[in-house]
Amino acid sequence: TRRNYGAVAVEEADERLQEEVSIRHQQARAQAPPPLDREQLVRGELADTNDELAEARRRREFLEKEPEAARVTENTLVRKKTMTIEHLKSTRKLKQECSEKERKRQVAFKKRDEDRGATPAGVRKVVVQASKSPVKSHGLRLAKKDGK
């Protein structure tokens, strides 16, 4: 609703509003970056595309190198595992050979002692004097350690 301020009052209010709008538009234009021409827009888009392309190529190269590095690591670990297994086998074989050598040595000692007329290891002849106990008079006892 219009109030009746007079014929000139409405026109003056319209002019003031138009001036305010034009001032706001000028301020907005001053704050906005200058408009670019089409060539500059295309160049900017081209630069962005080139950056994305370079990034995609770097990523592809990395992904191509990664499986190769994984293969190298895997081959190294396979060689290490093989060497460890071989070392374990040789250690077991050496231990078995040593125990076999010791067993043969002990057998040779026992055979030598038997050939010399000694009693078998762990058994000794006990001379029993007249004892009243029938358990003690059997004649053989198992030898105790320390030769007692």
pLDDT tens digits, 5-44:
677 787 888 899 999 999 999 999 888 887 778 888 888 8
Residue type, 69: A
| Rounded Cα distance, 86 and 82, in Å | 6
CA separation, residue 1 to residues 4, 8, 10, 108 (Å) = 9, 17, 12, 133
pLDDT of residue 2: 56
How much is the pTM? Answer: 0.39
Contact yes or no for 122/145 (Cβ under 8 A): no
Give me the residue label for tokens 């038997």. 114
Residue type, 118: A
Question: Which stretches in the chain have pLDDT values below 50?
Answer: 1, 148
Contact yes or no for 96/89 (Cβ under 8 A): no
| Rounded Cα distance, 59 and 66, in Å | 10
Strand partners, 142: 123
Domain assignments of the chain as residue spans, ordered by start: 38-127+136-147
